[in-house]
Structure 1
Amino acid sequence: MGHVKLQQIIFLLLFFIREDFGAPSSSQDAEGSGADPVLFVRDDFNDTKKYLVIDDMVLTKDLNKAGLINHAWPNAIVPYTFALTIIPQQKAMITSAIAELSTRTCLQFRPAKKDDAYWLLFQNDPMNQGCTSYVGWQNRKNQQVQLSTNCAKGNAIHEIIHAVGFYHEHTRNDRDEYIVVNYANVNPGQENNFRKENELDPPPETSVFDHPYNYDSIMHYGTNYFSKNGAKTVEPLNHPGASGKGDNIGQREYLSQGDVDMLNKKYDCPTLANVEDGLQSTKPPAPINANPVCNFSPQLPICSKGKVEA
């Protein structure tokens, strides 16, 4: 019992401590030493005056009021580092997700340096609460992207896309032309997860840039997300003007061409040739602990038919 209690104490210390160890990170840039490593950072997302948490998205209300909730990263450069809680398998998975985004967009991810004013911090929550990210550039050091050991590559791509300024596809202001949200089937108290962007208070600048509604998006909810009874909460209308197929909503297996187009338009990327399906990312690796149950949000673990969802 003494050993178990000691483990619990260490676990809690990992959860609450914010520590700067003063040594260069293993992630270094040729131009200088890396950002100082941290053990773990947790912002108080329960502070409702400061934050609005919608599923896996964290919105900073002050930035929302300023219309900067989905602000782009300056010059499309995204410095990043890894918290010491990230295990080698997670680091490899995140690196693979970053490589795919770097290859298919003009976003430039590089290891953070000590003199950077801001960067993403990839961390593993010791409480294993799931996948979470701020929406858009926060102009701060240690902007957290939280990935539990149950989060696979598709989840990492999903959260990074939040971090660079995008909401879920089903929250687009024009979504009612493409899907039906069955609020009668939604878990009580989780209706906010289905709010459109213009229903936020105040509404931010839109994160949609004149691209077709994308059923195939890695940012779209699946049909039974947050269902209280197993019935569909989201039903596609199979609109002919949308890209992808309605029966594919909720996929977390690849970055769709529509996602690539959306990112490239936001960041004024040069025109890139379409990537053939055969070159898109394949199914993500199995969860590190081989457990198909995936924690996706601070509020609720969700998994359906073995899919990795967020």
Structure 2
Amino acid sequence: MFRFVVLSCLLAVAAAVPPVAKSRADIENYKVALEKSREDDGLTLEERMAENPGMNAWSSSGKYQGDIYLDDDLIEEMVDDFSLGRMAYTRANTRWPSAVAVYEFGPGEFNLDQQRFILNVMNGLSERTCVRFRVRNANDRNFVRITGRPTGCYASVGYNANRGIHTLNVARNTPGFGCLNFVVISHEWYHALGFWHMQSTYNRDNYVRIHWENIQQGMAHNFDKVDSRFVSNLGLPYEYGSSMHYGTHFFSSNGRPTLSTTRPYNGVLGQTSVITGFDLWRLARHYNCPGAWSAEVMEKARTTVYVPTEEGNLTEETVDTPLADELELLEDVEIAKE
């Protein structure tokens, strides 16, 4: 999905505008927008999607950038940086220790079929990377609590040793639909494992154009981008087809595109149908999985997609047209590994 942005050592989110000091009103409006993204607006996911037909389930969940849950301290950092004209926040390493994400299902949140489907998604990621998932025990202070509130699909970003409960919500539904779509669940786990969205990356303007005039009032912050000083894209190419990429009409105020590609692309942006080879490779590199930095995996990554079955498993398929734009890598591999 993808920065699509992999978080390596530090994180930063920065807007597309030059650093300038902000007025008191600007600062207050920014703070209000971030805090509002955490509030329960009383709407269900279905109601929001009906109001915004150009958006998918995760982007319609009412959080920052659609589906990112912000902590109190994170909002404070973002507001402080915004006031200085940086519109950035920094955060220490967000990888789960030893590449093991600890989780629990909230009591009574899902029936057995729904739990099984969510676990199948997690197993699908584990089978193809070195990331593992473990059920919380009494000694675990930090863990992901998986809930099924009807408000949408959203998650905290990455591991935070001071957070305690890490949020991951996927609104209850029939497995395969809404937030219980295989790719949407994977998308939320990618956030929990340390990823932002693909179009948030610092040089996204080489690949997409943001149409600010078409964005809903008060929603421009959802198009912030990540500062190269604080984030590694792991030496991988920008990918229009990533399951972590925005769609063309997200947060549109007038039915016109809010985002378009600067290079020819005939696929779907904001797709929730497949997990791409590069999606999985990014996860493997982020957690330094064995072989993840080998050149041999490039060809498979660029020509492979993973398609969910009705049972909640993944099947490999070869594609003729790669979903990544390989005209240039986002950054040097050796730099990315540091």
CA distance in 1, matches of 2:115, 2:72: 31
Counterpart in the other structure of 2:115: 91
Picking from 68, 89, 100, the partner of 1:57 is 68
Q: Deviations over 1:174-229 (max 9, x none)?
A: 1000011111111111111111123xxxx983252221101111100111111112
* 2:276/2:304 contact within 8 Å kept: no
Whole-angstrom distance in 2 between the partners of 1:137 and 1:246: 36
User: Are the aligned partners of 1:120 and 1:143 in contact in 2 as well (CA < 8 Å)?
Assistant: yes
Q: How does 1:114-125 map to 2 (within 5 A)?
A: 114-125=138-149
Q: Does 1:255 align with 2:275?
A: yes
Q: Distance in 2 between matches of 1:220 and 1:106?
A: 23
2:130 is matched with 106
Superposition TM-score, scaled by structure 1 size: 0.66
* 2:91 alignment partner in structure 1: 68
Query: Given the alignment, which residue of 177, 196, 205 partners 1:176?
Result: 205
- Richer in helix (by share): 2
Shift of 1:275: 6.3
The one of 191, 195, 213 aligned to 1:166: 195
Partner of 1:80: 103
Question: What is the match of residue 144 of structure 1?
Answer: 167
Partner of residue 5, structure 1 = none
Deviation readout 1:7-56 (Å, 9 max, x if unpaired): xxxxxxxxxxxxxxxxxxxxxxxxxxxxxxxxxxxxx9359xxxx93321
Counterpart amino acid of 2:212? Y
1:275/1:208 CA distance change after superposition, 3 Å: closer
CA distance in 2, matches of 1:130, 1:164: 19
Mark the CA change 1:86 to 1:223 in structure 2 (over 3 Å): closer, same or farther.
same
Structure 1 runs (4+) greater than 4 angstroms displaced? 63-66, 275-279, 283-286
Q: Which of 225, 231, 234 is the equivalent residue of 2:259? A: 234
Aligned length: 228
The SS at the match of 2:64 is strand
The CA distance in 2 between the partners of 1:279 and 1:221, in whole Å, is 18
Instruction: Answer whether contact 1:133 1:145 (CA < 8 A) is retained.
Output: yes
Q: In structure 2, how many angstroms separate the alpha carbons of the residues matched to 1:251 and 1:204?
A: 29
Query: Comparing both chains, which one has the higher relative contact order based on Cα–Cα distances under 8 Å and sequence gaps of 6 or more?
Result: 2
Residue identity opposite 1:132 in structure 2: Y
Return closer, same or farther for 1:251/1:226 CA change in 2, 3 Å cut-off.
Answer: same
Q: List gaps (5 residues or longer) in structure 2.
A: 1-36, 41-62, 78-88, 173-177, 313-338
Q: Give the secondary structure class of the aligned counterpart of 1:280.
A: strand
| In structure 1, distance between residues paired with 2:291 and 2:145 | 30
Contact 1:253 1:283 in 2 (8 A): no
Structure richer in strand, relative to its length: 2
Return the alpha-carbon distance in structure 1 between the equivalents of residues 205 and 305 of structure 2.
32
Cα 1:250/1:92, change in 2 over 3 Å = same
Q: Where does 1:284-303 land on structure 2 (aligned, <5 Å)? A: none
Equivalent position of 2:155 in the other structure: 133
- Alignment CA distance shift 1:98-1:211 (3 Å): same
Distance (whole Å) between structure 2 residues aligned to residue 194 and residue 284 of structure 1: 33
Q: Which runs of 5+ in 1 are unaligned?
A: 1-43, 240-244, 287-310
SS at match of 1:259: helix
Residue 278 of structure 1 deviates from its aligned partner by: 7.0
Alpha-carbon offset, residue 247 of structure 1: 2.5
The 2-side partners of 1:212 and 1:195 are apart by: 20
The match for 2:308 is: 282
What root-mean-square deviation, in Å, do the aligned CA atoms of Structure 1 and Structure 2 show? 2.9
With structure 2 as the length reference, what TM-score do the two structures score?
A: 0.61
Counterpart residue number, 1:264: 284
